Amino acid sequence: MTNDAATAAKVDEETFAPTREPQVSPNRATNRPIIAPKLHHTTFTTLRLDEMVAWYERAVGLVPAFYGEEAAWLTNDEANHRIALLSPPGLKHPEDKSHSTGIHHTAFEFATFDQWLDNFIRLRNHGILPFLTLDHGITMSVYYQDPDGNGVEIQVDGFGDWADSKQWISSSLEFATNPIGTFFDPEKLVEAREQGLSFQEIHRRARAGEYVPDHVPEDIFLPQLY
């Protein structure tokens, strides 16, 4: 037997095997990327470049990888930048940022409850206070405003484990019933920790409403700065 095409075709007729050349079937699963890219950075325009650079360093340890006259690129981890700030001529402040669509906040996560609460204390001692403090179940979160009024959430995972909190947000009737969560007074959390309560016990009590602040915000809109 030879390997030329005529011989191959004859063999196919005798065995009733398909004579068609093998076809490559294109993958039609194109609705989403096969491998999803990671979220990398967010870029804000600003009229307060220097204030913004200083605030993000103080709040979440972002430092400039490059700091120019009209822009800065900030990072606090292995990425080349996580927040970029652009300040070209011709910008103006938004008319009603609180009630405008767009980004409500970016979020940063501490690995442990103690790191998270210590950061609240550190910022409070610098006079930087959150405008929202919420136990979402998935996270305990304090929300600040940067000098331009953009929201910045600083959180700790409520389960200490992304797989568990992802499972909970996907399947919990508790979250579906109240996705915003329960307000807490962070100073009451500081007291609870000083009394020796564990993170999970504090988290449980916060969810139960034991640390509700004296003043509960009426909404979650960004406070109007200008």
**What does the binding site for Fe ion look like in residue numbers (CB under 5 A)?**
107, 153
Nearer to Fe ion, 117 or 132 (CB): 132
Distances (CA, A) of 200 to 21, 114, 160: 63, 12, 9
The count of C-alpha atoms lying within 13 angstroms of the C-alpha of 215, restricted to the half-sphere facing its C-beta, is 4
> Using CB atoms within 10 A of its CB, is residue 144 exposed (0-12), middle (13-18) or buried (19+)?
buried
Minimum separation from the CB atom of position 144 to Fe ion (A)? 12
Nearer to Fe ion, 148 or 153 (CB): 153
Query: What is the maximum alpha-carbon separation in the chain?
Result: 92
Minimum separation from the CB atom of position 103 to Fe ion (A)? 11
Minimum separation from the CB atom of position 88 to Fe ion (A)? 29
Nearer to Fe ion, 106 or 193 (CB): 106
Minimum separation from the CB atom of position 203 to Fe ion (A)? 17
Here the contacts of 73-82 (C-beta below 8 Å, separation 24 or greater) are 79/40, 79/41, 81/41, 82/40, 82/41, 82/42
Nearer to Fe ion, 86 or 106 (CB): 106
